[in-house]
């Protein structure tokens, strides 16, 4: 399974620098000078390898120079490119309370009393923290659940289960 670690948002300047939205916890390793990135090109869906020349943080994003991308036109052609890694390449987490997004996606979500709420559709990363986007079993609507211990006391990858204890009103349709 491919996991996205970054996305080219746009070009920056005239020398081929790229603005990359970070989607990895370890950007300093993934985007280190000399690192090879596998890019899935947006316009053609072709996959191409790129070598990082340099990267620097700027306003919550990375500014990245890649070998062979030397001007604005070449950088603009990469807009929308997704940098991906295979999930098998990821090391296991050292923290038992930390999960990769792909490990949570597809897990059944149930209340502490065993009532099934739905399935984790995706993990959303926001300024306020992580949210589980859950597809409700009854009406297929999206329910956003803050991924905090007070609301999500149990995650069992082995049982493919997330147990939630939501505050009153969280699951109510709007």
Give pLDDT, residue 96. 73
Taking a C-beta distance cutoff of 8 angstroms, is the pair 78, 21 a contact? no
For the chain, what is the radius of gyration of the CA atoms?
19
**Which pTM value belongs to this model?**
0.63
> pLDDT tens for residues 78-108?
999 999 888 777 666 677 777 878 889 899 9
CATH of 101-164, one of 2.30.30.240, 3.40.50.720, 3.40.50.2020, 3.40.630.30: 2.30.30.240
Taking a C-beta distance cutoff of 8 angstroms, is the pair 132, 81 a contact? no
Total residues belonging to the chain: 174
Phi, psi torsion values for 2, nearest 5 degrees: -85, 140
Sequence ranges of the domains in the chain: 2-89, 101-164
The whole-angstrom separation of Cα 151 and Cα 156 is 15
Tell whether domain 2-89 is in CATH 2.40.30.60.
yes
What does DSSP say about strands 2-12 and 47-58: parallel, antiparallel, or unpaired?
A: unpaired
Give pLDDT, residue 1. 66
Give pLDDT, residue 113. 96
CA–chain centroid gap for 47, Å, is: 19
> pLDDT tens for residues 131-140?
899 999 988 8
């Amino acid at each position: 399974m491919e996991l996205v670690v970054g996305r080219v948002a746009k070009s920056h300047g005239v020398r081929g620098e790229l603005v990359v939205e970070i989607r990895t916890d370890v950007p300093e390793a993934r985007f280190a000078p000399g690192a090879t990135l596998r890019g899935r090109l947006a316009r053609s869906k072709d996959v191409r390898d790129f070598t990082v020349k340099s990267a620097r943080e700027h306003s919550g994003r990375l500014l990245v120079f890649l070998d062979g991308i030397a001007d604005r036109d070449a950088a603009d052609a990469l807009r929308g490119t997704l940098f991906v890694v295979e999930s098998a390449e990821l090391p296991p987490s050292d923290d038992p309370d930390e999960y990769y997004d792909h490990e949570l996606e597809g897990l059944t979500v149930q209340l502490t009393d065993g009532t099934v709420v739905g399935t984790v559709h995706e993990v959303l990363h926001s300024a306020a923290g992580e949210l589980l986007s859950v597809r409700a079993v009854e009406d297929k609507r999206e329910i956003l659940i803050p991924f905090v211990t007070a609301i999500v006391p149990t995650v069992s990858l082995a049982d493919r289960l997330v147990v939630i204890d939501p505050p009153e009103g969280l699951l109510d349709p709007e």
